[in-house]
A = this chain, B = another copy of it.
């Protein structure tokens, strides 16, 4: 049956905006991966023009009017389809109304301040001097609190910022999850064994790594008909269109595992995007990714639950040995397996292993929540940071660059972003445990045939094809039978640490 005309008209406008957002993704991908260096300045202008246009369309009167008429026309829609449409407009209006509440001058000031802050942060980090960054950081904190005031909150300002990345999440609920996790993590970290990487003493050429890495996306279910693998400074994945989901990695000759895990991680993100694009209605507001935590759960699941599993490596180990021109005597299966599940306390988040990583996130969440809620001051950050690192990881921070200045996020005004990383780890463990319970013998297909389709099929139906139909809590509950909880992540890490400690 044909849609009421008003729904078609609104959808057409929505799709125009989406097409231009995807054009922005092409410009961004090219700038990170292909563009000659001198192209930067003009490209920034091109990207700004596209963002300006899509923002203008999103908050403009034409779209508002089309949406109002579309909502009115819902009375003509068959009863069975009504709730889906209502969900669509609720998702859409929530975003649009938030945008409407921010005055244009505020948006400009925020963007100018954070643009400026990036350079200030980079310079301060280079000079290991937090005090050079504190003035502009105070301004960003002030603007972020102002943003929370414009949009409005019931419990605490931080919730508003969190909501931009993790829809409907509440800081108090995340705090509960994270405290449960922290209590268990600290002793796990103490007992977890460290193993030197067997690759650190040899050189593995970029070409050899690339050969192996190019096998991975198709192996997991991401065909190069709809994807590419390239090199960039920071690995990332991006959707440039319905059937165009690209990933990048980077190659270190002394650490080939980092390119492999980079590819597994980014492939997980792109498999989610590819699954969303399979939804019949694509593109619609309900075929966008649900939240950053759910997005991250898909990358972490393929990186950790699959990529650090025994069955995955039983399949990949002989291929790696052959692609790298080695023999089993050079690097044994056991040494390889132990090293990819090794734990070591470190000061830098992006170098952390799967166990300690979450402690890095929890300390950031605790600090930024208090900062935004006004319980602590910018000038107290270094001391607070260093004392938490001492408490959770037992390490002494020697200078601000390896401490509070290490991450770019706050300079971009990205308060509320950090917790989504650990939410991703929590969700991925819970999803994988549910998949395991439902799927007997999957290890055999992984290990013997390199066949991961049972897992992808499960994720497609339980997560990817669900789009934004439900909220995060409902999605996790309906996929796993339980509310989001840290139990499965704790179980996963405990059993992994104990396994590699005894082989």
From B226, B228, B242, contact of A34 by CB (8 A) = B228
- Report the Cα distance A30→B226, complex, angstroms: 14
A19 touches B241 (CB 8 A): no
> Which of A39-47, A181-189, A310-318, A405-413 has 4 or more CB atoms under 8 Å from chain B?
A39-47
From B16, B45, B50, B241, contact of A39 by CB (8 A) = B241
A244 touches B38 (CB 8 A): yes
Besides A23-B50, A36-B226, 5 other A-B contacts (C-beta < 8 A): A19-B46, A36-B225, A36-B228, A37-B225, A42-B243
B38 touches A243 (CB 8 A): yes
- Report the Cα distance A21→B240, complex, angstroms: 19
Within 8 A of B (CB), among A221-275: 224-228, 240-244, 246
Shortest A503–chain B CB gap in Å is 40
Binary per-residue interface labels of chain A (2-40) against chain B in the complex, 1 for a CB within 8 Å, 0 otherwise: 000000000000001001101100110010001111110
For A227, the chain B residues whose CB sits under 8 A away are 36
Counting from the closest, the 8 A-B pairs by CB-CB distance are A39-B244, A38-B243, A42-B241, A42-B242, A38-B225, A38-B226, A19-B49, A23-B46
- Report the Cα distance A227→B30, complex, angstroms: 13
Q: Taking the full assembly, how many copies of this chain does it contain? A: 2
A49 touches B37 (CB 8 A): no
Closest residue on chain B to residue A246 by CB atoms: B36
Closest residue on chain B to residue A230 by CB atoms: B34
Interface size class of A (residues with CB under 8 A): 20 to 34
Shortest A225–chain B CB gap in Å is 5
For A49, the chain B residues whose CB sits under 8 A away are 16, 19-20, 23
Which residues of A pack against B, CB within 8 Å? 16, 19-20, 22-23, 26-27, 30, 34-39, 41-43, 45-46, 49-50, 224-228, 240-244, 246
For A246, the chain B residues whose CB sits under 8 A away are 36
Q: Please name 30 pairs of A and B residues whose Cβ atoms are closer than 8 Å in the assembled complex, sorted by A.
A: A19-B46, A19-B49, A20-B49, A22-B42, A23-B27, A23-B46, A23-B49, A26-B27, A26-B30, A26-B46, A34-B228, A35-B240, A35-B244, A36-B224, A36-B225, A36-B226, A36-B243, A37-B225, A38-B225, A38-B226, A38-B243, A38-B244, A39-B226, A39-B240, A39-B241, A39-B243, A41-B243, A42-B241, A42-B243, A43-B241
Interface of chain A, helix or strand or loop or mixed?
helix
- Report the Cα distance A22→B23, complex, angstroms: 12
With A26-B30, A30-B26, A30-B30 in contact, is A46–B228 under 8 Å at CB? no
For A35, the chain B residues whose CB sits under 8 A away are 240, 244
Closest residue on chain B to residue A40 by CB atoms: B243
From B36, B242, B243, contact of A244 by CB (8 A) = B36
